[in-house]
Amino acid sequence: MEEKLKRAKDKVVHTQVWRSLFRQGWPTTERNRVLTTINTLLLHLHPIKVKTHALKIRYTFCLGGATLFMFVIETITGLLLMYYYRPTLEYAYQDMKDLEFTVTFGLFLRNMHRWAAHLMVLTVILHMCRVFYTGSYKPPREFNWVIGVQLLVITLLLSFTGYLLPWDQLAYWAVTVGTNMAKSTPIIGAEGPFAVLPANTDICFYLRGSEDISGNTLLRFYVLHCIFLPLSASALMGVHFWRIRKDGGISWPL
Amino acid sequence: MQELKTKSKKVVSRETGVPSAKARLEALSAKGREGEEGGPEPDKLLTFPHLVLKEFIALMLMSLLLIIVSIVLNAPLEEEANPSKTPNPSKAPWYFCGLQEMLVYFDPWIAGVVAPTLIIIGLCVIPYVDRNPRGIGGWSGIKHRPFAVTIFSIGVFAWFALIIFGYMFRGPAWLVYMPWESWDVHKPILSPGGLVVPLYVGVTAIAVYFGLGMGLPVIFVRRFYQTLGPARYFVTMFFVLCMFGFLAKIPLRLLFSIKYIIKTTWFSI
């Protein structure tokens, strides 16, 4: 029996289909392990070998990876939520209620999207602290720190734009408070110092698409939240990871 | 059976062969790997499996955490948005509550626009003004760069302290309510007024603050100035003084009820 199974297995792994999927054998030899890292799309972001010191959990606490993982979770759950959500005054709140009571696993989906978002804000801040305290922003990694700061800002904006979408009291007034600040921008805000623009053309109006939070704001925040900001974040993340490699990998004591 | 065992020990003979369960476990274990690495770079290990395994475990743990939290805790959903019914208080999302808390002490153009802009730019310039080459790549390096670590820690601490205070200790009309206190308890509304420092005193105070802040270290901490050079020194001290200036307004307002240090027709600080 075992002999038969083995022969069947050998037949499978020697087919053209199998060999086109898996270019190297099971990673039990050093050669195959190297090839696994090189040949796998996700793993090839890593170098083939890493410093032993970089492997210690207490060095990085996996915070950057945790942030990326949260981003992936947000993308998946967010994409699924998009099937049920319409960003209009008429439907937005009703669709939230549907997600809560009608859609199978809708509540779970929304919960996960919400908590992962909060966690992502937290992990990205903690990741920044880790990088600071371990001196990992020092040359040659200066610019990667700057990209990291931009990613932090985008994360906050992603979370903030998503905050409006449920269109409940919490969302509406939190975003009112948040965007009101823009009114006070010097020069380009209607109520700020040296204001030159009236309330119907200032930066806050531009942000909201109207003088108060309205259906225009909802649509604007929806597009920012689902398309513009995730794409910007992905692009910057690409640069962020690429530069880690180009700057010599994860930092280590000199 | 005996034959299979010896084969699994040798792992795989053929390029694409799928090994036995035992060999598959061995692929992920440290066993029998001693000799194979540690060539020209003995302080390095293969990414697969050493790093990938840890990443995978972290991923599993985080998934577990998220799934449990998402089952146990429901995301808040209040009644439908109603522009004519303003809740009291209206709070920003937690990560902006620190800025909202700053509104107690500053006009919105500072708390909501200038402060966040300065924080973002200030963070971006850190690697360019910190010329101390020590402390890379480990937590223990912290002791070799007391200045950078102290300033950054004060900033992070203040950011979270303001968030926690704004998020948990503020109730209706943005008055102080302990987390266990009911928001139904009526509290007298504090007068929005306060002292306005005369313009010439205020301008002098700020000029002296920045002047001494920039000048004194040049005289008394000469080495600090010399290692940074004038440009880096100026940028560093500008952001450091701005941060302490922001924070100094809190005791000024609370202890001496000073509302504005500078008040003009166009803007007030």
In SS3 terms, A89-133 reads as CCCHHHHHHHHHHCCCCHHHHHHHHHHHHHHHHHHHHHHHHHHHH
Of A247, A246, A241, A253, the closest CA to residue A56 belongs to: A253
Banded model confidence at residue B26, pLDDT cuts 50, 70, 90: low
State which of A7-16, A90-99, A192-201 shows the largest mean pLDDT. Answer: A90-99
Is B93's CB within 8 Å of A73's CB? no
State which of A27-36, A78-87, B44-53 shows the largest mean pLDDT. Answer: A78-87
Tens-place pLDDT, residues A102-150: 999 999 999 999 999 999 999 999 999 999 999 999 999 999 999 999 9
Q: Which two tokens stand for residue B50?
A: 């050493």
Residue-level pLDDT at A24: 84
Query: Rounded to a whole number, what is the distance in angstroms from the first to the last CA of chain A?
Result: 58
Count the Cβ atoms, other than its own, within 10 Å of residue B190. 13
> Are A224 and A157 spatial neighbours (Cβ–Cβ below 8 Å)?
yes
DSSP strand E in B114-241: where? Answer: 195-196
- How far is residue A164's CA from residue A212's CA, in Å, rounded to a whole number? 13
Higher pLDDT, A131 or B27: A131
- A-chain residues near B124 (CB < 8 A): 145-146, 149
pTM value is: 0.90
- How far is residue B205's CA from residue B197's CA, in Å, rounded to a whole number? 10
Q: Does A242 touch chain B (CB under 8 A)?
A: no
- How far is residue A211's CA from residue A206's CA, in Å, rounded to a whole number? 9
Could you give the C-alpha distances from B133 to A143, B46, B47, B223, in angstroms and in order?
A: 16, 29, 28, 15
Is B136's CB within 8 Å of A166's CB? no
Higher pLDDT, A9 or B191: A9
Q: Which two tokens stand for residue B64?
A: 């577990």
Tens-place pLDDT, residues A33-86: 999 999 989 899 999 999 998 899 999 999 999 999 999 999 999 999 999 999
> Which residue in this structure is represented by tokens 């109520």?
A191
Alpha-carbon distance A166 to nearest alpha carbon in chain B (angstroms): 7
Q: Does A145 touch chain B (CB under 8 A)?
A: yes
> What average pLDDT does the segment B34-53 reach?
76
Is A49's CB within 8 Å of B45's CB? yes
Mention every residue, 6+ apart, whose C-beta is less than 8 A from residue A110: A77, A81, A96, A99, A100, B75
Which of A3, A85, A111 is the best mutation test for B, with the most CBs of B within 10 A? A111
- Cis status, amide bond into B19, omega within 30 of 0: no
> Are B239 and B247 spatial neighbours (Cβ–Cβ below 8 Å)?
no
pLDDT at A171 exceeding the cut of 80? yes
> Which residue in this structure is represented by tokens 């560093």?
B236
- How far is residue B47's CA from residue B24's CA, in Å, rounded to a whole number? 17
Phi then psi dihedrals of residue B87, to 5 deg = -70, 150
- A-chain residues near B137 (CB < 8 A): 53, 134-136, 251-254
Name the helix (H) or strand (E) containing B260.
strand B258-260
Is A166's CB within 8 Å of B90's CB? no
pLDDT at B120 exceeding the cut of 70? yes
pLDDT at B14 exceeding the cut of 50? no
Is A251's CB within 8 Å of B14's CB? no
Alpha-carbon distance A102 to nearest alpha carbon in chain B (angstroms): 15
Q: Does A181 touch chain B (CB under 8 A)?
A: yes
- A-chain residues near B142 (CB < 8 A): 133
Residue-level pLDDT at B15: 47
- A-chain residues near B134 (CB < 8 A): 135
Mean pLDDT value across chain B: 86
